[in-house]
Amino acid sequence: MTEIRNYTHVAALADVEKIGVHTVQVGGHVLALYLHEGNVYAVDNRCPHMGFPLDRGSVHGGILTCHWHHARFDLCTGGAFDLWADDVPSYPVDVRDGAIYVDIRPRHDPIAHQRQRLADGLERNLSLVIAKAVIALIDEADDAATPFQSGLDFGTRYRMEGWGQGLTILTAMMNLLPSLRREDRARALYHGLSAVANDTAGHPPRFLVQPLPGDDHDLSTLKRWFRQFIEVRDSEGAERCIVSAIRAGATPAQMADMLFAAVTDHRYIDVGHMLDFTNKAFESLDIVGWDHAAQVLTSLVPGYANASRMEESNAWRHPIDLVKILHTSFARIPDVLARASSAGQTWQGRATLTPILLGDDPQRIADALLAALGDGASPVDLAGVVAYAAALRIARFHTSNEFGDWDTALHTFTFANAVHAGLGRLEGLDLSAGDYPLLLRGVFDGAMSIYLDRFLNIPAARLPEAGANGHTPSALPALNPLLDQQQQVNPAGQAVAGYLFHGGDASAIRAELGHLLLREDRNFHTIQSVEAAFRQHDLLGDSTEGIHVLVAAARYLAAHAPTMRAQGQTYGIARRLHRGERLFEG
């Protein structure tokens, strides 16, 4: 089929012949017309890398070189030899009777092209390429799901060590999108996708194992085998159990039960990271669909098998053997739950349990959790109180502590938040008589970690209270300039509390905290803290407890600001290029 051209007269051949290059504006485009070896070529005059005028470049042997960063292009097709630059749009030319005609219609689907550029950016860890692609996909196609899925697929395939910080950041950023201002949403995905590219750079790929032969596999047996393989740190055997269970028709809740059981067979493994990663993996599947389950869930296995176990930690064994307290408590859970099921009571002990969790008696803490179960508290109820108590450790963290101790409190909070979310997935799961979701053990682990963190609140920072500021705020607190300074932890927490306790709009504060999070270079733990706090606030609402978790987020964010903002610089360049601004003159 003959292609129909739509040529427009743009210039006289004599204009190009004068110096070999001539620029002309046509239909919103500035074209660079080059005369090379007797032929005229037309390309967009903006270098696709950073917008430098290509008419200031040079042509040798059919290769056009931009003189700003030396990107090279095939003059005939516009194809880039340096993939960090992208192809430059080129246009068909017809020369007739001393006049130059150009067909300026687009020669490719711009959205499909940006999806390919996102793949290029992930493969080569090119932050500017990722930023430009995400901005185009969000602004022009209003499509966040496709870049998220691209990042998830790439991150689970091209990192031998499996699920890590990059995929956790990506999923956390996707979770944050509804809380962010529209103009910040592309930036959030850019942070997440750049983290995936950085996390996979230089790593060998993963290869998905095949299921066991046949289709008739009992899920309870596969679950038992899976836990056995993790116990002896056998990744391949464990991965084969996962893919076999999925092929056998295991539901998302059944797979969550299998994985959360294994990740809590040992105490607080990898300082809580692996349980949080597991929760994030299931959240990612909520977004992209269960068809991706095998690739996503098997990516968790290397972390399970290689994780440190707190049975091996001095802090969990001496001077008090917390592991012994926990194992004794676990043995009592079935009987306690059996009594609770016949009692039919509604639990009302949240306010009483919180100070016990923050106390200094681990045996009393374990007994109080068991008592709450006996009084009718559900596993999800208990997990919510533990998550709130963990957030209070951050809200009351005193700045006289060493800076690194922020992460100690953060690990407990994100672990407890993941336990809370995971138990929500398991509600209604059909278990055998006398069984309980083994993830419930994570509630007790989180409580012991809160106990171990107690010295971070000695002395305790004063928790902002309702009415402490004595005024009604008329506008959002000025957090932006505040977080341009160091050591503004307490003022940031007080500003957020004062605004919310006087009826301020929590969604506006969340959007502001999200904006301030994104202007800093990616920090894994800070992203975790803000995302977990937003989730807990979703559940607690505008109650005093809900305000406290946002205070915790603000304090943690303030402690980790200001930092380098190289990512913001890169994103700003991409945004200006998308708007058509001239970087080289600014």
Using one digit for the tens of pLDDT, what is the confidence trace for 404-425?
A: 999 999 999 999 999 999 999 9
pLDDT at 327 over 70: yes
CB burial readout 261-281, b (16+ within 10 A) else e: bbbbbbbbbbbbbbbbbbbbb
Q: How many Cβ atoms from other residues are within 10 Å of residue 309's Cβ?
A: 14
- Is a pLDDT exceeding 70 seen at residue 344? no
pLDDT in tens, 208-240: 999 999 878 899 999 999 999 999 999 999 999
CA distance 278 to 488: 33
Spatial distance between the Cα atoms of 218 and 223, rounded to a whole number of angstroms: 9
Q: What is the pLDDT of residues 98-116, one digit of tens each?
A: 999 999 887 788 899 999 9
pLDDT of residue 471: 57
Q: Which amino acid, one-letter code, is at 289? A: G
Binned at pLDDT 50, 70 and 90, residue 467 comes out as low
Dist CA 126 CA 162 (whole Å): 21
* pLDDT on residue 535: 98
For residues 260 and 438, what is the distance between their CA atoms, to the nearest angstrom? 7
| pLDDT, tens digit (0-9, with 9 covering 90-100), for 204-215 | 999 999 999 987
Give 247 or 433, the one with higher predicted confidence: 247
pLDDT of 395 > 70? The answer is yes
What does the alpha-carbon distance between residue 533 and residue 529 come to, in Å, rounded to a whole number? 6
With contact defined as beta carbons under 8 Å apart, do 445 and 354 qualify?
no
Which tokens in the block code for residue 550?
Answer: 């946002």
The C-alpha angle 414, 416, 419, rounded to 5 degrees, equals 110
Is residue 342 over pLDDT 70?
Answer: no
403, with CB counted inside 10 A (0-12, 13-18, 19+), is exposed
- Torsion angles phi and psi, residue 76, rounded to 5: -75, -45
Whether residue 343 has pLDDT greater than 80: no
Cβ count near 437 (within 10 Å): 22
3-state SS, 524-565, equals HHHHHHHHHHHHHHHHHCCCHHHHHHHHHHHHHHHHCCCCCC
Q: Is residue 346's pLDDT more than 80?
A: no
Q: Could you tell me the pTM of the whole model?
A: 0.94
Instruction: Say if residue 3's pLDDT is above 70.
Output: no
Distance in angstroms (rounded) separating the CA atoms of residues 461 and 197: 38
Give the mean pLDDT of 38-54.
Answer: 95
Beta bridge partners of 57: none
In terms of average pLDDT, the best of 140-149, 293-302, 432-441 is 293-302
- pLDDT tens by residue, 521-533: 989 999 999 999 9
As a whole number of angstroms, the distance between CA 288 and CA 170 comes to 13
Per-residue pLDDT tens over the stretch 268-292 = 999 999 999 999 999 999 999 999 9
Mean pLDDT of the 247-257 span = 96
Residue-level pLDDT at 27: 81
Q: What is residue 347's predicted lDDT score, i.e. its pLDDT?
A: 85
The pLDDT tens digits for 49-73 are: 999 999 999 999 999 999 999 999 9
Token pair recorded at residue 530: 């803000």
Residue 2 has pLDDT above 50, yes or no: no
Q: Which residue has the tokens 């470049």?
A: 57
**Rounded Cα distance, 134 and 345, in Å:** 51
Look at residue 345 and tell me whether its pLDDT is greater than 70.
no
pLDDT of residue 5: 73
pLDDT at 558 over 70: yes
Measured CA to CA, the distance from residue 387 to residue 272 in angstroms comes to 13
What pLDDT band is residue 28 in, cutting at 50, 70 and 90? confident
Whole-angstrom CA distances from 156 to 38, 295, 301 are 51, 6, 11
Mean of pLDDT over the chain: 94
* Residues 170-211: tens digit of each pLDDT: 999 999 999 999 999 999 999 999 999 999 999 999 999 999
User: CA 396 to CA 164: how far, in whole Å?
Assistant: 29
Closest Cα partner for 239 from 288, 293, 199? 293
Task: In whole angstroms, give the CA distance from residue 583 to residue 498.
Answer: 41
pLDDT of residue 1: 34
